[in-house]
Chains A and B, each alone.
Chain A
């Protein structure tokens, strides 16, 4: 069992947890993820490790409540315990020293980009971060990134905070202003990663994306997380989660992410009904 040490709401339906996990914290490198199972009936949920605290033997994860399992997780409280925690999984980010990097996070993707930005900075990189959200409320980890990155640009779709527009608008502007990058790292919803790749492709800027497909075991055993990269089959859990974004078949990945949409809605409906019953009973 892994106790929740602290819980903090970062944005609507977005929660940061610190969880006990000495065996994961000691080895984890930027870019890696864990698999969590809440209880005996639970599914195996892959989540990027946002940060570690080796002295406390704790890891931090940032969870957006979308389906049943993530909502159930976000409803847990400090002191509650999570049944299973496996990791660190996946390959770490390929960090190179002295790089000029643009780290782009869309929504919850910022939670994945943050440890990567820290990793590049630790190797004396020049790090620009562009983070976006629908509105001001959905922008996360701005202060944390400001403490690490050389420059942080915030965008919101509605202009309620930072620059009005998308993260790609900010990226285009920087490029138009003559900024050059050795590498762009983009993590967020598929359409956002795809849009970033369409900006960087004509300029031949190496672009890394972190993928979050449907996954079961997370150790290479099931093949459910397979994606096509440059026409080759890759398993995100053991070959990734980060890939050359210029070569990823986003169309196929997008379709595969919708594989269980009906079941996900059914599970969520049952969960809401149970919650309503419980609320009535108390």
Chain B
């Protein structure tokens, strides 16, 4: 029998031209066509041990859905995804597959792995185009009521899973729009908001109720969700809350933003369409973004689209240590982002109107590995230099939002204010209260938050059926 010849590399993702896309907010990646998807799916060797599934935090039956695509059974593939993932179009776009399912792909040992993420995105989008719907009948109503705080990836996952189990679920969202970081943080050009809305509509179809403009900790406390509104369990998925700024002079000048604010103005509030939309933003000509993660990439690429002539990304280590996805860094560079490695700001300098006129930086070199295992940057004495900028955006991480902590004194948190929750169940030490996502782990990924939501849903289901099993095991923390 002739040996099957395998195409060594992934079928490339069709992209918008870098010069064009750097000036619009339309999606960068255009998605596979049907033929490309089938071709890519046929690269999968359908290996028995399917290591890719173990790499997926929400345990999608990857081998099965890829076979279905190869067989052109797109509806079947769509249902296979939905069984495990309520946000396939989102995950297909923003999951770091290269560190999860794809890194484990057998094909990847000698060649490039199967483009699982691109296929997931194709199936979700194609399914939406052909109006496939989730037709699995929901479980009979259990009569139990669960409150989910926050409508980001963790909250949406826990809500969908619990609704499918027959529980009554209400999501409380502080902002005016559901989706959390998917709507305020990740830009349109990477994750179109219509796609997020489509997946959230799918949740409503499952019977999940979403209450926007409800700030838990203020509108209702966690305790009031139990005592006044009669919920039997509460899941806290409020995300990474409070932006951090470095302790250097000039951070309160006009033109200095946290990445949260810069991205929220543009994404959630649509400031890039000002004055059609009312929220303004500063359209800097020379913009410096500080950080090396995906949020920093999103911010610096947004600045180009807002009209920057020079968009600098300033990172204190080197490319190798950047936490951002390689693909995002590459896209940013193609679009004209100028990456300045081994540099860190020491001061933001003002003009006479308290606006940013420049940023003073210092050169760094890499020293010994720190706690994170990455070589830590060491400032080089006397190497200060100024770069002329009018806008500075800090994307250097976040603290925990205090609103729930302040009003729920019996909910234990760590020294950074993150909620202490069991790794396997999301259970906290407060009876009936579960937590997951960035509020527990600090800033991480969409899919890890979804994985935490999945685990918490199982534990909440068990708890509702038998409240004496609270799933909390102190040794797991």
Contacts and interface: CB of A to CB of B under 8 A. Distances in A.
Interface residues of B, number: 41
Given A223-B261, A224-B261, A217 B175 contact: yes
Interface string B165-178: 00000000011100
B280 A263 contact: yes
A5 interface: no
A126 interface: no
B278 A27 contact: no
Given A37-B176, A42-B278, A222 B252 contact: no
Interface in B273-293: 274-280, 282
A68 B274 CA distance: 12
B284 to A, nearest CB: 12
B38 to A, nearest CB: 40
Interface string A23-60: 11001000000000100011110000000000000000
A41 B274 CA distance: 9
A258 interface: yes
Nearest to B213: A86
B218 A43 contact: no
A51 B214 CA distance: 20
B279 A87 contact: no
B261 A216 contact: yes
B258 A222 contact: yes
Contacts of A266: 275
Given A238-B402, A259-B282, A88 B218 contact: yes
Contact of B243 (A87, A88, A222, A256): A222
Contacts of B469: none
Interface of A: 23-24, 27, 37, 41-44, 68-69, 83-89, 216-217, 219-224, 226-228, 233, 235, 238, 252, 255-256, 258-260, 263-264, 266-267, 270
B280 A264 contact: yes
B215 A258 contact: no
Interface of B: 174-176, 184, 212-215, 218-220, 241-243, 245, 251-255, 257-258, 260-261, 264-265, 269-270, 274-280, 282, 353-354, 401-403
Q: Secondary structure at chain A's binding surface: helix, strand, loop or mixed? A: mixed
A27 B261 contact: no
Nearest to A68: B278
Contact of B279 (A24, A216, A228, A255): A216
Given A221-B242, A252-B252, A216 B265 contact: yes
A222 B264 contact: yes
11 contacts: A23-B219, A88-B218, A222-B260, A223-B243, A233-B245, A238-B402, A255-B353, A258-B354, A259-B282, A266-B275, A270-B275
A207 B254 CA distance: 27
A267 B275 CA distance: 6
A267 B175 CA distance: 24
A42 B270 CA distance: 10
Given A86-B176, A217-B174, A258-B353, 16 more contacts: A86-B214, A216-B269, A216-B279, A219-B215, A220-B402, A220-B403, A221-B260, A221-B401, A224-B258, A226-B245, A226-B252, A227-B252, A233-B252, A258-B354, A259-B255, A270-B275
